[in-house]
Amino acid sequence: MNQWDAVIVGAGAAGLFCAGVAGQRGLKVLVLDHSDKIAEKIRISGGGRCNFTNRLLDASAPQKHFIGQNPQFCRSALSRYTPQDFIDLVQKHGIAFHEKHKGQLFCDHSADDIIRMLLAECEAGGVTLKMGCAVQAVRLLADGSYELDTTQGPVQTKSLVVATGGLSIPKIGATGWGYELATQFGLRLVERRAGLVPLTFDGAAWAPYAQLAGLALPVGISTGDKKTRMHFDEDLLFTHRGLSGPGVLQISSYWQEGSPIRLNLAPEVNLPERLQDAKLRSKKLLGNELATLVPSRLAEAWVSQDPALQRTSAEVPDKALNKLAETLSNWTLTPTGSEGYKKAEVTLGGVDTRDLSSQTMESKQSGLYFIGEVVDVTGWLGGYNFQWAWASGHACATALASQRFPQHRNSGAK
């Protein structure tokens, strides 16, 4: 029987990072993954450059950037392993990176740099990695340890760490195994749904806008009312089936099925004022004037739907002009759905944080830990989910080491 201090199921961001930290603290660690390819979600993230953290993360107020039934749950781990801690590790490995807008950090070269770094950290900790190794069954033994039946033989461990991610992007191997294991051991689950995902609209209703596919522009986007209202100022992308881009991905995590979203397609412009000014001063077609305020394809799409707007600016009735300004400033539409897990960047919901320790990530089932996306903690677009992977993995590894070597409990090492 293969005996281990810790077995980690899932060779993604959270699993590999946890393994490296635990291994370097003296634990005998095994990482298993059913896929033949390692860390595919890291590899494809950030357009292949991995948005690995965000400088703006405020660990004292995680609810600003994280979603879940208890968004405060992640505060402990995030405050003990910060974006700067991970940046220090990236710099230690000589990885060049740059900051885009709103604190987002990306590799200069490739997401593969982060994968190689994580593997180097695992190697430094003597971690054993088995890819293409699926877990077929898990049993709790009389002494409190766990026995795993795998496609590469039986394994026994004192501590079992689940880092299997969520349901998003099944084509790279996402499964619900972590949720099934949580249920097996009596842990509660929060309903799962696709997050950070493009939104879709009915084909007939969307037909006038399908011609805008590929058009991107900065917008204000919101959903919800009063206490539940969320708003983002980000870019929007029109697609053949609906809307995507950073703004839509952000709002999708807060959008509820059947609810509308509201778009300001010209957030930097006072449209009523500018259109009235054009009416008074311009002899050009309204569509030409509008094209100086919003992208020309957008202007054409709106003007073409109303004959009253297909005139010179001076000839357009005030009522039609005011309606145009209101529509572009507060376009209210209800998505029929989303692109689902196949295009979602994350999975909302997961293992209920009420059944986990925010300090150690251990569940109420002794010796069983859950880290990363499988937990009901979901970050905004922009590196927040990776930082949760690093922080939750670090919290778990620290706890594993302190149990194995109590004398190191207060070492404080990163």
pLDDT at position 405, please? 82
CB atoms < 10 A from the CB of 411, how many? Answer: 12
Structure tokens at 375: 């937990």
Residues 325/328/334/338 CA torsion (nearest 10 deg): 180
> Which residues partner with 154 through β-bridges?
149
Dihedral angle sign, alpha carbons of residues 231, 236, 242, 248:
negative
Q: Which pLDDT does position 407 carry in this prediction?
A: 60
Token pair recorded at residue 235: 């870019």
Nearest one of 25, 7, 253, 291 to 130, comparing CA atoms: 7
DSSP 3-state of 109? coil
Cβ count within 10 A of residue 322: 14
Q: What is the pLDDT of residue 414?
A: 55
- If one counts every other C-beta atom within 10 angstroms of the C-beta of residue 274, the result is 16
pLDDT number for residue 226 = 84
Query: Mean pLDDT by 10-residue block, N- to C-terminus, for the chain (414 residues)?
Result: 93 98 98 97 96 95 93 95 98 98 97 98 98 98 97 97 96 96 98 98 88 96 93 96 97 96 96 94 94 96 94 95 95 96 97 98 98 98 98 98 74 48
For 74, what's the count of Cα atoms within 13 Å in the CB-facing half-sphere? 34
DSSP string, 39-96: SHHHHHGGGGT-EEEETT--TT-GGGTEESSSGGGGHHHHHHS-HHHHHHHHHHTT--
Q: Which pLDDT value is given to residue 56?
A: 96
Distances (CA, A) of 12 to 35, 87, 104: 10, 18, 20
